[in-house]
Amino acid sequence: MRILPQLRHSWGSVREEALCSIITGSTVKVQVQFAENNFVTLVYRSLALLKKGSPKEVSLATQAIALFAITLGPGGHTHEIYKDSLPPLSQALESGSESSKISSILDCLAIVTFVGAKDFEETEKSMQIIWKLIQPVALNVNARKHSPAILAAAISAWSFILTTVDGWRLNYKYCRGAISYLSDLIEYDDDSVRIAALEALALIFESGCFNSFSTEAKCSSSCLIHEGNTSTNGYSPIQEMKDNILHRVRRLSLKDEVDKDHMSDWLKVFEDGCCPKTLVMNWQNMLKSFAWYQLLQIKFMKRILGSGFNKHIQENEFLRELFEIVTPKREDVSGYGCQLYELDSKEVIAEYYEPELRKNNKSSIQRMFMSPNSFYNKAMTQLLNKRRMLSQKRRNGHYVVDDEC
């Protein structure tokens, strides 16, 4: 393809145009063959722009790398992209790049790690690189206070990678420090940072980290008791962390400038100890329940792919497997807990948030699915209304594409 040589052109405008063309092509169409044949050239030339390119070129180059990784899916090619990209991306973040570049670099690092890292050690490397940006070491001469937008982007990228990690594998000391710092950010004076911190903490709750930490804390307590140092109040560090988070969320919910309904949802998360799940409905009236970590994955992927999310969710094998999208079968179209089936419409999903149901809770199931005012019936009503609206517009010669979840 003649567009790739243009990435070496001496004029920045020509390089930008070439990158835009590659990004558009990779967004509107899942070009697996093109990505397989050209990923080495694209990654090499895109990474070269990290040092000499303008902020716009860096943003476009890192976006192109991320799109190629998503298109290729896990395997040898994306692992090669991860290994080649990690050092220059890390260096760009650590060297104090311009704020306009950092957000796109974070997104790229998160995607190539999510898709290309082959084990926990590689995943942890990327998480530590991003965490240094979130909480800079005081003695680091390059450490500086970033804008709320960059801080929120860094936390979101860190959380996105964390969705791939088993909570039992996380280091107690490292993650306890992360929880403490994220707890402080709950009362940050910027809404995007607060939400990113709350999302990360909810993910840590869901991942089983606290169960792992409780085990380690008990072991530590046993050692202290054997050494003659006993706790007088029996108040564990884990419970202290949980109470601290809940206290901050409650205090934040009382402030006038916050969304009361939104904060009420967060209070339920941290009071009940269970994260919300989302029932996703497609045009075939099928429902699937997504866990919190999956919602964060969808949110991040949708932001990276933009208008191409619908196309990729239908044709990209990696995303179809990731979100368990399968071809519908007649015998599978009834019952609770069914799968998210292949989407045959431009409109992908509608979301409804509810706390996780406890086992054998028949009254909750009846309230959520069978009562006239249940969110299931409301979802069905909304879906039918949208269908009527689209049918009317088609009859009038119009067609609407809804890109919102």
Please tell me the least confidently modeled range out of 25-29, 30-34, 287-291: 287-291
Q: For position 95, what pLDDT does the model report?
A: 79
Confidence check: pLDDT of 9 > 80: yes
pTM (two decimals): 0.76
Q: For position 344, what pLDDT does the model report?
A: 41
Structure confidence by residue, pLDDT tens digits, 153-194: 999 999 999 999 876 667 667 778 889 999 999 999 999 999
What is the rounded average pLDDT for all residues in the chain?
77
3-state helix, strand, coil in the chain (%, to 5): 65, 5, 30
Please compute the mean of the pLDDT values over residues 12-18 and round it to a whole number: 92
Length of the chain equals 405
Q: For position 122, what pLDDT does the model report?
A: 96
Please tell me the least confidently modeled range out of 115-129, 141-155, 235-249, 333-347: 333-347
Q: What percent of the chain has pLDDT over 70?
A: 65
Sketch the domain layout of the chain as residue ranges. 1-118, 276-395
Please compute the mean of the pLDDT values over residues 212-235 and round it to a whole number: 49
Nearest of 297, 306, 389 to residue 67 by alpha carbon = 306
Contact residues for 107 (Cβ-Cβ < 8 A; gap 6+)? 62, 63, 66, 153, 157, 303, 304
**CB-count burial class (<10 Å; 0-12, 13-18, 19+) for 362:** exposed
Please tell me the least confidently modeled range out of 157-166, 189-198, 277-286, 289-298: 277-286
Confidence check: pLDDT of 380 > 70: no
